Structure 1
């Protein structure tokens, strides 16, 4: 499953916005004119409930004969922006006493860790070589990407393991199909970006007997008045007619964008995939994000928010995380959110934490994460700001589009500073 290309990554940002400095609004408009970005929606606000900005522009689909406008209620594939919902759901389950952060999940999920650690691949025998792990995988490991797992589409070793079994990476209808994999390191000793959130969602399903969606509807969406988030937009006539189509540039990031007609975001997935399977609108995602910024008591107790936002990596795992982000242009693009490499980062259940701020953009300790089709959210607790940027464009986390979102974030930081 080739989701991105390493080539020309360093040129993409400059090429999109070549020319004199312009406002973020003009920059988005220019991207629409250049047909690099079909459509987008952005929303920002502060902790006190002030709306700083909201706008949608462009079109939601490049399919022939169907080019509806991109609006604040356009339904987008959220990809890894789903993870924040799942993290909150897991903390709610911990509060309810139905799961524990530090108990072995194999009691409920026997598939987790059942292969042991894949140390290398024997090419002559066309099979993996394993050792048994000593540390049980816990929910804390799954939510902090320290479980030993890595997404198989991100790992050459796991891709080879899949091929030896006549399988393709991350395919099939269920979490079990997609994520029953060998570990790659002893749990708790390193960091690799993984499908741990998919297993976390499956854990909730098995202990409650309900779907992850039903759990979220009852405990997150209904309390906040959210109606436009689901794992199954095709089963919701009120949403399916507002569904945006994923578009793509060339593998090297060159336009014009075209409809990605053969791209299946979930690669055959039918489960509620807690790591990347939800769909929703910018308006309702922002409603959720703003509740998290305010530490809304309808979602979690204060101590649960503390755990949600706490850095989860010890020094060894934090070093592994930062080394991982710097290990290739693809890692910097896809996982590093195209942020400066010199900014040290760590991980919380909520997402990535930037330990240092960036002048005119964010304070230190800002939380940022996104999703494959160049989506983006941020929570700046020191400044009291949050924002979302929605679009549906590939290659994943395209630097040129992320730069547009960065300009938006800077403008909101500046605007907020002026009204303080």
Structure 2
């Protein structure tokens, strides 16, 4: 659930005057978009169209840049295979994320490596690793610097505290079995702003609750307004809705167990559900998740934020999502009855 923290870090750099949300950042990360836009294959060769459209941090943080994770898109999987490359592999952000765009920037919605690239932009302009920047500007001010790291196995006081993964069987059935060989970082040596953070439950909740109550140690009031503000226009919201229902995998992994009838949009913080969900949360609730079936949400209407942690694969398994929903409903009911 690293993306929310990366968004806060980007806005801190904007406040510092070293980044702008609406300037082209391709000069800072030339690997991004260098292959152009993929439109198909012909005789086993990828059809790639060059583009010259600026790519901004606003696009990267709202998933409108044309970036898409390769494991989601069949064309990108075929492109990787045609080059003899494994998906999302290699030690650096450039290795993992320098793949073709799937549409011209600003014309659609696709869930991808925008936050990974945004984290790399922070590193370029601050000359610090993303972890060093977050330690200085987020973790230390909140007192959680001993509970958060991109590389906890390299931290003497953390390596013995790292929880191992478990997995259900191929059909997603229990019982869960040990999967300690799983590498969430997939061989990376870079800090991944899109999904590389390791943090304790208490540490993440400390961060989440600080953001929820708009803690001034992190951002100014206007930056919080930008963090939570819906970023998509009507066309973008339709693109998001269409994208979330391209396949059952898209719906399971991205819709967060919310019905299609619920209107949705995207903020820098995460998914915004515009309509209230009876007995679950109020209108405008923001929520998002992470690979090992972890989830957070912020319900401003009810005045509550919460985080639910586990270490279960496959990612965002339906049974775990249902458990998270029950958790939300119990909290909502408890608040209503007090």
Q: What's the TM-score, normalizing by structure 1? A: 0.79
Q: How does 1:38-117 map to 2 (within 5 A)?
A: 81-117=1-37
- Could you tell me how far 1:134 is from its partner in structure 2? 3.9
* Structure 1 unaligned spans of 5+: 1-80
Deviation track 1:345-374 (CA, whole Å, cap 9, x = no partner) reads 110000000011111110010001011111
Greater length-normalized contact order (CA 8 Å, ≥ 6 residues apart): 1
SS in 1 for 2:289: strand
Residue 100 (structure 2) aligned to one of 182, 192, 210: 182
Matches of 1:389 and 1:417 in 2, distance apart? 20
Residue of 275, 291, 295 corresponding to 2:194: 275
Q: What's 2:251 paired with?
A: 332
> CA-to-partner distance for each residue in 1:64-83, whole Å, 9 max, x for gaps?
xxxxxxxxxxxxxxxxx100
Q: Is the 8 A contact 2:8 2:227 kept in 1?
A: yes
Matches within 5 A, 1:382-397: 382-397=301-316
Return the match for 2:158 from 239, 243, 252: 239
1:197 match: 115
- Indicate conservation of the 8 Å contact 2:32/2:94, yes or no: no
The Cα shift of 1:127 comes to 2.0
2:45 matched residue in structure 1: 127
Question: Aligned in 2, Cα 1:342/1:251: closer, same or farther, shift over 3 Å?
Answer: farther
1:206 aligns with 2:124: yes
Whether contact under 8 Å (1:152, 1:169) holds in the other structure is yes
1:222 lines up with 2:140 in the alignment:
yes
* TM-superposition CA deviations, 1:206-226 (whole Å, max 9, x none): 111100011111111111111
Q: Give the corresponding residue for 1:165.
A: 83
Q: Post-superposition shift, 1:133? A: 2.0
Match of 1:152 in 2: 70
Contact 1:169–1:178 (Cα < 8 Å) also in 2: yes
List alignment gaps of at least 5 residues for structure 2: none
> Is this contact kept in 2: 1:105–1:112, CA < 8 A?
no
Q: Give the C-alpha shift of residue 251 in structure 1.
A: 2.3
- Of residues 155, 172, 175, the one that matches 1:256 is 175
Other structure's SS at 2:205 match: helix
Q: Which moved more, 1:275-284 or 1:338-347?
A: 338-347
Partner-residue secondary structure (3-state), 1:187: coil
Tell me the alpha carbon deviations over residues 145-189 of structure 1, each in whole angstroms, 9 at most, x when there is no partner: 000110011111011111111101100110000000111101111
Deviations 1:41-69 (A, max 9, x none): xxxxxxxxxxxxxxxxxxxxxxxxxxxxx
Per-residue deviation, residues 205-263 of structure 1 (Å, max 9, x unmatched): 01111000111111111111113011011011222111111111012211111112442
Q: Give me the whole-angstrom Cα distance separating, in 1, the residues matched to 2:55 and 2:138.
A: 27
Q: How many equivalent residue pairs? A: 337
Measure how far apart 1:264 and its partner are: 1.6
Describe the SS at the equivalent of 2:296.
strand
2: CA distance, partners of 1:274 / 1:371? 12
Q: CA deviation at 1:320?
A: 1.0
1:11 aligns with none
Corresponding residue SS for 2:53: coil
- Considering only aligned residues, what root-mean-square deviation do their CA atoms show, in Å? 1.0
**Is the contact made by 2:243 and 2:250 (CA closer than 8 Å) also made in structure 1?**
yes
